[in-house]
Amino acid sequence: MKKEILKQYFGYDDFREGQSEIIDALLIGRDALGVMPTGAGKSLCYQIPSMILPHVTLVISPLISLMRDQVQALVANGIPAAFINSSLTDAQREIVINRARKGQYKIIYVAPERLLAPSILQLAQSLSVSLIAVDEAHCISQWGQDFRPSYLDIPRFVEALSVRPIVTAFTATATSRVREDILRILDLREPLTLVTSFDRPNLYFDVKRPQDKYSTLTAYLRENEGRGIIYCSTRKEVESVTEKLVSDGYSVSRYHAGLSDDERNSSQDDFLYDRVRLIVATNAFGMGIDKSNVRFVIHYNMPQNVESYYQEAGRAGRDGLSSDCILFYARKDINTALYLINKSENQDEVARNRQLLNRMEEYCETDGCLRRYILRYFGERIEDDCGNCGNCDGDFDEIDITVDAQKVLSNIARLNRAGKSLMFTHTANILLGKSDDFTDLSTFGIMKGVTRHYIRSIVNRLTSLGFIRDNNGYLSVTPKAYEVLSGGVVVTIRENKAEPSEKTRRTKNQNLEHKYALSEELLAKLKELRGEIAREENVQAYIVFSDATLVDMCQKHPQAEDEMLNVSGVGRVKLERYGARFLDLLNREAPNVAPLEKPPVFTSESFFEQIEISDEPLQISRVADNLNAVFLRYDKPKTSGIKLNKLLIEATYLETVDGVKLPTNKGRELGITVVDRNSDRGPYKQCLFDARAQRVCAELALNEME
C-alpha cells in the first residue's frame, strides 16, 4: 500500500534509502529516529504513514516558512493538511481548529512554541492522534547547532494526551551525542534508529581561496545560471555584497536578523517564489526552507563548524540535480569566527566551539577529497576519493616550497625568541622588507620579489600541517616546525594548472529511459509554463513541478497521459491538475525534438574487450573510472568505488574491521593487497587491486547491472 500512495500522491516509483524501513516501523506502531541528509526525503517518512494510519498526524516543525511550504505541497498533491502558527489570525486559527475537530485533515503542522497553549492542548486531547513527527529534532539538544528551548515542551505535550501515539523524530545532521539526547529527551520507546549515508552524490564541493572574493563570485554567477544562496558571516558583509550585486544588475534580495520581520519575510518570499534569482544571507536564513531548485550555495565566509556548513550547503540540489557547494576561504574568516565564538561567557562552550572551528579549518586546508573529509567527519569510513569535488577533479601541480617554508618559519621563530608574536600582515612585511622595524633580523627582506598572497598560502599550508600556531591571528611556531627547519620534512603545496569551467564538469543523474536529447529551448518553455501556473495559484514554482521533473519530462517527452505518469515526480493528482497544459505544450513541440542517437549494442563480450585492465595494482576509485569509461559509451549507469566496495563485501572478498575495509583470505588470494598511506589526517590503510582483482570488479559490476 505504501508504494501505491508514493506513486499516486507523490509521483515516484521507488523509495530512497531508509524511507521504506522507517515507514514500516511506524506502521507497526514502533517509534523511530531518522538521521537523513537534506534532500533525502525525510518528510515522506511520516507523510505516507499519515495516509495509512487511521487518525491524524501532528508534525512539530520549527519554522513558519517550512510549515507553509510543506502544507502547500501536500494540498497540491491532494492530501488534506493545515498548519497552526503565529502567522494565522485568531479567526483563521479557529477555522483550522474547527475543521480539525471535524476530521477534515490527515496532517496538521504545529509550532513547538504553541504546543502547551490551551487551545492546542485541548484540540490534541479531543482528537485521536496516530502519529507525532518531530522535525529538525536536533533542536532538542543543547549540543545541536540550533538548540530551541521550546522543543523541551514536547515530552510534556505527549504525556498530556490520553493515549500515547507513535513518536518519530528526524534531523539532517546529528553527532552521536545529539542522537543520544533526542532518544533520551523524547523518550522514544524501542525505536528504530536509522542513520543513512550522509553522501549527496549530486552535490559538487569546492574550496576556493580567491584574492578578490567579489570578482570570483561574479565570475561564477556569469557562467552559472539558476537560483542560488550566498551565505555571509556578518550582517555587514550581507549588506555590502548585496549592494554590489544590485549595482551590477543582479536580481537579489538580502536576509539577516537585523531586518524587520516584514523585510525578512518579503526577501524570503521573493526568493522562494522565484521573483529574485539570488539571496544573500547570514545563517539566520535557511532552516526548513524547502526549495528544490537551488542550483548553488556559496559560502562567502567560512562557517564556524562542519555541521552548520553541511546543513547550509545541503540546501542546494534538493531535487537531485547536479548542484554546487562552494566555499570562499580566507584566513581572516577564522578571526571573524573566533570573535563570534569568544562572545559567549560559557568557557566550556567556547572551548568546544574552537575545537569545531579547527575541524572546519582542516576541511578548508585539506588537499584530499572534500567529500571524503565530510563523510568521515560524520562517521562514514570511506577510503576512496569521490572524483567529483574541487580537490579530486582539479588539475594540480605539486610544488616543493620547502626552502620558502623554512624562510617563513625562521622569521617567526626569531620573532618568538625575541618575545614577539605578530599577525600575518606584519610578519609578511618583514619578509618582504617593507617594515619600519625589525630591520636587523637576518630574515628581513629575505622574500623580496614574491607576492603577499604567496606568503599567505605558505602560512596557511604550514598552519594546516601543524608547524605554525595561529592564536587569534598571532603567529608562533610549534615544536614540529624544527622538523622543517632542519631539512627533515619536505613541504609541498598544490597549485591549479587551470581552473576548469563549471559548465564542463560531467553531470551525474543519467536516466536510461530518456529517449530525446535535452533541449534547453524546450526546458525554458516548460519552466515558463510552470511559472505561469505558479503565479495563477500563488505557490512556489517547484510546488507545481521540480526542475528535475521538468528535465525528465523534456527528455522523455511524453505525448499522452499514461506516458506522463512515467515522468519522475508526476502522480495522478498532479496529472489531473496540470497534465493537460504540459502535454499540450509537449505535443506542440514534438516536431522540434531531436531523438537521442541509439548507443551501440552492449554485450558482456564488448564490455570486457574494451575495459582497461592495468598490470599495476590500482585503488578502487581508479578501477571504477576504467569501468565507467566503457559504461558511458553504452549509456549505462556509472559505478563508483563505494559501490564496488559494497559488492566486494557481499562477495566476501572484503570485510569491514573497525570501520576499515580489508581483504579477506579469499580477497588476498584474488590479488587484493593492503598498503599503509599517510595524509594530513594521519596514517590510513588502502586496498590495491591487481589485474585479476580488477577483472572480478568488472564482473561484479556487470552482474549487478544485469
pLDDT digits (tens, 9 = 90+) for 229-246: 999 989 999 999 999 999
* Residue 242 three-state SS: helix
* Residue 471 three-state SS: strand
Mean pLDDT of 518-524: 85
- Strand ranges in 436-523 using DSSP code E only, listed in sequence order: 468-471, 474-477, 492-498
Mean pLDDT of 179-207: 90
CATH superfamily of 520-592: HRDC domain (1.10.150.80)
Count of Cβ atoms closer than 10 Å to residue 83 Cβ: 23
Residues of the chain with CATH 3.40.50.300: 2-195, 203-388
* Residue 673 three-state SS: strand
Residues of the chain with CATH 1.10.150.80: 520-592
**pTM of the model as a whole:** 0.62
And the C-alpha cell for 197?
549515508
Distance CA 652, CA 672 (A): 12
Q: Are 174 and 185 spatial neighbours (Cβ–Cβ below 8 Å)?
A: no
Residue type, 304: Q
Mean pLDDT, the chain, as a whole number? 85
Alpha-carbon 452 to chain mean position: 34
pLDDT tens digit string along 618-633?
Answer: 888 778 877 876 776 6
CA distances from 133 to 345, 350, 503, 577 (A): 35, 33, 40, 29
| Nearest of 683, 680, 684, 682 to residue 662 by alpha carbon | 684
Residue type, 284: A
Instruction: Please state which CATH number belongs to domain 2-195.
Output: 3.40.50.300
Angle 66-238-337 (CA atoms, 0-180°, nearest 5)?
90
In this prediction, residue 495 has a pLDDT band, given cuts at 50, 70 and 90, of low
* CATH architecture of the domain with range 203-388: 3-Layer(aba) Sandwich (3.40)
| Nearest of 248, 249, 286 to residue 267 by alpha carbon | 286
Q: Are 641 and 663 spatial neighbours (Cβ–Cβ below 8 Å)?
A: no
pLDDT tens digit string along 368-401?
Answer: 789 988 888 887 777 677 878 888 876 566 688 8
- Residue the block writes with cell 559548465: 503
Distance CA 34, CA 24 (A): 13
Most confident option among 72-76, 143-147, 351-355 = 72-76
And the C-alpha cell for 640?
563508483
Count of Cβ atoms closer than 10 Å to residue 222 Cβ: 9
Mean pLDDT of 671-698: 82
Distance CA 653, CA 693 (A): 9
Residues of the chain with CATH 1.10.10.10: 397-498
| Nearest of 573, 517, 522, 581 to residue 550 by alpha carbon | 522
pLDDT tens digit string along 69-128?
Answer: 889 888 888 899 999 988 888 899 899 999 999 999 999 999 998 899 898 999 999 989
Question: Looking at the domain covering 397-498, what would its CATH class be?
Answer: mainly alpha
Q: Are 203 and 314 spatial neighbours (Cβ–Cβ below 8 Å)?
A: yes
